[in-house]
């Protein structure tokens, strides 16, 4: 049962400008008006035509849909997809039959220059960093065992939330920290490990009744369960005084110094006892994401098989307009367009994070960008000024403008008390097994995800024309999509 404490005041950055259409469109509208006035002195008809076409274009571009996209954004999205299809960037082949003579199943797209780096912390404990060759960033993956709130009192649950806020506040002023992401990966339990565990406790001379009861227990409880993994990923961006990226050894040394204190803070926030993931675990996690059927093969073995990072990618993959086909799975990835419009409790996301019917595998990634305290004060004051300007432009202020004004005032007050501004986003990937009626099952899984998101008061939108990029960004590898240039991507997330 969730605590009765509510949380809210989530708001997007206000575009500002005339009628909140954004500064670029406002500048364009004023420029067209000025040009029209000057042209009117020479030719009034031409001036009227310029004003009609120019201001009409601005008015059309100012209209945005529920995903905050205008007609130009949608046309650019379709053009990028057509270019991707023509250049065959949507197709991927690897392995022995790939055009490249490497013979390995390398990762595709934005994962192509991602490597693993092993290092040690000050106590001599080994950890693995994910190195992003495109951007020079490093990511640290930590497996957590959340304690949950099923049996926790309200004050304990509120303490977890307060401790998590402290984690974000402390990371905001930590040098080099670019992003924090939390990934919850749920998949149906095949029952292989459960059966193997019970079989080991059965003896050959067991009574017939006991043996039949044990087999009945295995048949009843081996299926229908779900496994859930929670991974916290920290992305670091380090530069020296000359603006160059730090080398791996120096970056690993700085990150290793943060691990002990970070572990304690996550534990206080209800994350259990987090531990740094090894390179083998990271490679197996990525391999199972691209090939869902590999999970059963891995679980059937007494010891987890070794998966080389160079072979963690798919043998074949194809990015479509609204889904992604990869090895033995079909996936669809959504991005959050709007945060909850009303106040929420700490358990609002429970329905979306938990296992869902009709979904073979689901991955939810929450991404946090904490703004340093010195910039927070400036940004919240800027938002407040935009809200004031919006109200001043309306003869009768609308409810939306009044609400934005109230929220920006509260944010400014909290920033004055030491709080920091946190930008957050959410990605959801649903995967079904390839096979008979795969597209129908993918639609059923999509309906389940969108219904759960609706219950969580979150507005989701499929990553159209960027399903391969969205799939990779949802993996717990520490991708900061703000750092990637469009030329390095097969699509884009906006």
Per-residue pLDDT of the chain (494 residues; tens, 9 = 90+): 556 788 877 888 878 778 778 888 889 989 999 998 999 888 889 989 998 998 899 888 888 888 888 888 888 888 888 888 888 888 888 877 777 667 788 888 888 889 999 888 777 788 899 999 888 899 999 999 887 766 677 788 888 888 888 899 888 888 889 999 999 998 876 666 666 666 666 777 778 777 777 777 766 665 656 678 899 999 998 887 777 778 888 888 889 888 888 888 998 888 888 899 999 999 999 999 999 888 777 766 667 778 888 888 899 999 999 999 998 899 999 999 888 888 888 888 888 988 888 888 999 999 999 988 888 888 888 888 888 888 888 778 778 788 888 888 888 888 888 888 899 999 999 999 988 888 999 999 999 999 999 888 888 999 998 899 999 999 999 998 888 754 433 332 32
Q: Answer with the one of 223, 241, 268 that is the final residue of a domain.
A: 223
Is residue 390 a part of any domain in this protein? no
Helix (H, G, I), strand (E, B) or coil at 42: coil
Strand-pair partners of 365: 183, 427
Which of 411, 428, 288, 278 is CA-nearest to residue 362? 428
Q: What's residue 494's pLDDT?
A: 29
Considering the domain architecture, whether residues 136 and 267 belong to the same structural domain is answered as yes
Is residue 213 a part of any domain in this protein? yes
Considering the domain architecture, whether residues 218 and 327 belong to the same structural domain is answered as no
Q: What is the pTM assigned to this prediction?
A: 0.86
Q: What's residue 195's pLDDT?
A: 66
Considering the domain architecture, whether residues 273 and 321 belong to the same structural domain is answered as yes
Q: What's residue 357's pLDDT?
A: 84
Which pairing describes strands 324-326 and 361-370: parallel, antiparallel, or unpaired?
A: unpaired
Separation CA 478–CA 285 (nearest Å): 14
Helix (H, G, I), strand (E, B) or coil at 166: helix
Considering the domain architecture, whether residues 294 and 353 belong to the same structural domain is answered as yes
Tokens representing 470 are 């969205």
Q: What's residue 112's pLDDT?
A: 85
420, HSE (Cβ side, Cα atoms, 13 Å): 22
Considering the domain architecture, whether residues 125 and 200 belong to the same structural domain is answered as no
Considering the domain architecture, whether residues 104 and 73 belong to the same structural domain is answered as yes
Considering the domain architecture, whether residues 195 and 211 belong to the same structural domain is answered as yes
Residue 201 is part of which domain span?
191-223
Which of 339, 340, 371 is CA-nearest to residue 179? 371
Is residue 128 a part of any domain in this protein? yes
Considering the domain architecture, whether residues 139 and 96 belong to the same structural domain is answered as yes
Is residue 123 a part of any domain in this protein? yes
Is residue 57 a part of any domain in this protein? no
Considering the domain architecture, whether residues 69 and 142 belong to the same structural domain is answered as yes
Q: What's residue 105's pLDDT?
A: 85
Supply the DSSP symbol for 247.
P
Q: What's residue 321's pLDDT?
A: 92
Supply the DSSP symbol for 459.
E
Separation CA 266–CA 270 (nearest Å): 7
Helix (H, G, I), strand (E, B) or coil at 225: coil
Number of domains in the chain: 2
* DSSP assignment string, 471-484: HHHHSSS---GGG-
Considering the domain architecture, whether residues 212 and 270 belong to the same structural domain is answered as no
Separation CA 91–CA 304 (nearest Å): 31
Which residue bears the tokens 């990779």? 472
Is residue 28 a part of any domain in this protein? no
Q: Answer with the one of 174, 202, 223 that is the final residue of a domain.
A: 223
Contact partners, residue 105, CB within 8 Å, separation at least 6: 94, 95, 310, 311, 312, 313, 314, 315
Considering the domain architecture, whether residues 199 and 280 belong to the same structural domain is answered as no
**Number of residues written out for the chain:** 494
Considering the domain architecture, whether residues 217 and 267 belong to the same structural domain is answered as no
Q: What's residue 487's pLDDT?
A: 41
Separation CA 467–CA 444 (nearest Å): 18
How far does the chain reach from its first CA to its final CA, in angstroms? Answer: 35
Contact partners, residue 355, CB within 8 Å, separation at least 6: 186, 188, 226, 228, 362
Separation CA 212–CA 218 (nearest Å): 10
Tokens representing 428 are 């959801």
Separation CA 282–CA 310 (nearest Å): 12
Which conformational region is residue 229 in: left (phi greater than 0), alpha (psi within -120 to 50 degrees), or beta? beta
Which of 376, 367, 471 is CA-nearest to residue 414? 376
Is residue 431 a part of any domain in this protein? yes
Q: What's residue 447's pLDDT?
A: 94
- Distance (Å) of CA 361 to CA 188, 287, 293, 333: 7, 13, 11, 12
Is residue 1 a part of any domain in this protein? no
Contact partners, residue 413, CB within 8 Å, separation at least 6: none
Separation CA 175–CA 347 (nearest Å): 32
């Amino acid at each position: 049962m969730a605590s009765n404490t509510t949380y809210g005041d989530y708001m997007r950055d206000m575009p500002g400008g005339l009628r909140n259409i954004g500064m670029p469109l406002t500048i364009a509208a004023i420029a067209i008006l000025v040009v029209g006035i000057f042209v009117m002195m020479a030719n009034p008809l031409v001036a009227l035509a310029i004003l009609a076409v120019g201001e009409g274009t601005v008015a059309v571009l100012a209209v945005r849909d529920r995903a905050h996209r205008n007609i130009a954004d949608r046309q650019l999205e379709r053009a990028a997809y057509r270019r991707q299809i023509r250049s065959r960037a949507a197709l991927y082949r690897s392995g022995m039959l790939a055009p490249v003579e490497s013979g390995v199943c390398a990762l595709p797209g934005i994962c192509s220059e991602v490597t693993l780096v092993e290092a040690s912390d000050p106590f001599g404990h080994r950890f693995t960093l994910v190195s992003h060759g495109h951007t020079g960033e490093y990511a640290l993956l930590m497996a957590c065992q959340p304690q949950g709130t099923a049996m926790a009192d309200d004050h304990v649950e509120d303490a977890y939330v307060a401790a998590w806020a402290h984690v974000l506040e402390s990371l905001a002023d930590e040098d080099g920290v670019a992003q924090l992401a939390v990934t919850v990966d749920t998949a149906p339990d095949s029952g292989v490990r459960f059966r193997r565990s019970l079989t080991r406790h059965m003896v050959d001379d067991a009574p017939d009744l006991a043996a039949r009861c044990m087999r009945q227990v295995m048949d009843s409880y081996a299926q229908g369960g779900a496994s859930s993994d929670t991974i916290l990923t920290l992305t670091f961006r380090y530069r020296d005084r000359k603006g160059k990226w730090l080398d791996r050894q120096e970056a690993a040394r700085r990150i290793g110094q943060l691990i002990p204190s970070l572990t304690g803070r996550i534990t206080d926030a209800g994350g259990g006892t987090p531990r740094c993931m090894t390179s083998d675990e990271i490679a197996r996690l990525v391999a199972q994401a691209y090939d869902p059927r590999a999970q059963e093969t891995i679980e059937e073995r007494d010891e987890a098989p070794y998966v080389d990072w160079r072979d963690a990618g798919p043998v074949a993959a194809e990015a479509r307009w609204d889904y992604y086909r990869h090895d033995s799975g079909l996936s669809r990835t959504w991005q959050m367009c709007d945060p909850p419009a009303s106040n929420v409790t700490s358990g609002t996301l429970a329905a979306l994070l938990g296992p869902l019917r009709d979904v073979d595998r689901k991955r939810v990634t929450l991404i946090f960008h904490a703004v340093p305290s010195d910039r927070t004060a400036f940004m919240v004051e800027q938002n407040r000024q935009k809200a004031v300007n919006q109200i001043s432009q309306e003869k009768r202020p609308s409810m939306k403008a009044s609400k934005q004004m109230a929220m920006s005032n509260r944010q400014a007050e909290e920033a004055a008390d030491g709080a920091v501004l946190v930008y957050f986003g959410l990605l959801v990937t649903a995967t079904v097994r390839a096979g008979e009626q795969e597209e129908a099952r993918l639609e059923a899984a999509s309906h389940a995800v969108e219904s759960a998101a609706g219950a969580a008061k979150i507005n989701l939108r499929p990553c159209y024309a960027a399903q391969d990029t969205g799939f990779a960004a949802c993996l717990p590898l520490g991708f900061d999509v703000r750092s990637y240039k469009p030329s390095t991507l097969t699509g884009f997330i906006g």
